[in-house]
């Protein structure tokens, strides 16, 4: 039941993306409306400050994982609908697995590097 588990993870990732994106939006972009966080959360110092706090690093990494997984799995589903052969589906799967890992490594590098620093 691997494909079912992957699909359930896809649904979970949608909820996770909404939650963590909600936190991100509330703190960073809707702070005046919701009266949350810093007065100027998009300033360089505020961002560096958050990036060195492990809680924020975890939130960003999880947002990244959920966002990438949900987006790529959804796109894969659309492509697979139009893919006829099992061999082509296997190629599509590998492109998305490798692409997802590369995308994650590229995007996660900055928060991880800042957190270690």
Partner 1 sequence: MPDNATSVTYIVQRYDPEKDKQPHMQEFTVQTRRGMTILDGLIFIKENLDSTLAFRTSCRMGICGSCGMFINNYPRLACHTQIAELESAVITVKPLPNSPIIKDLAVDLQPMFEKHKSIRPYIVQQNKAEETNLTHEYVQTPDQVEEYEQFSYCIKCGMCIAACPTSASDAKFLGPQALGQAYRYCADSRDAGSAARLKITESNHGAWRCHLAGACSEVCPKGVDPGLAIQLLKNKMAKQALSGEKKEKPIAIYPEPKETKPKVQVPPFTAKK
Query: Rule CB under 8 A: which residues touch partner 1?
Result: 1, 3-5, 7-8, 77, 80-82, 84, 86, 89
- Which class for 90: exposed (0-12), middle (13-18), buried (19 or more C-beta within 10 A)? exposed
Number of H-type helices and E-type strands within the chain: 5, 0
Instruction: Supply the minimum distance, in Å, between the C-beta of residue 77 and partner 1.
Output: 7
- 55 vs 86, which CB is nearer to partner 1? 86
Residue 6 or 102: which CB sits closer to partner 1?
A: 6
Task: Report the residue number, 49 or 74, with the smaller CB distance to partner 1.
Answer: 74
CA distances from residue 81 to 19, 64, 69, 77 in whole angstroms, order as listed:
29, 26, 18, 6
Question: How far, in Å, CA of 3 to CA of 20, rounded?
Answer: 25
Instruction: Output the smallest distance, CB 94 to partner 1, in A.
Output: 14
Q: Nearest distance from residue 95's CB to partner 1, in Å?
A: 15
């Amino acid at each position: 039941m691997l494909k079912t588990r992957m699909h359930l993870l896809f649904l979970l990732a949608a909820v996770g993306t909404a939650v963590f994106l909600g936190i991100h939006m509330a703190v960073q972009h809707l702070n005046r409306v919701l009266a949350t966080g810093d007065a100027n959360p998009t300033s360089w110092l505020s961002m560096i400050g958050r990036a060195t706090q492990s809680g924020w690093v975890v939130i960003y990494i999880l947002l990244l994982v959920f966002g990438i997984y949900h987006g790529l799995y959804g796109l894969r589903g659309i492509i697979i609908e139009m893919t006829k052969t099992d061999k082509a589906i296997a190629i599509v799967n590998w492109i998305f697995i490798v692409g997802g890992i590369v995308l994650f490594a590229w995007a996660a590098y900055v928060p991880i590097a800042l957190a270690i620093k």
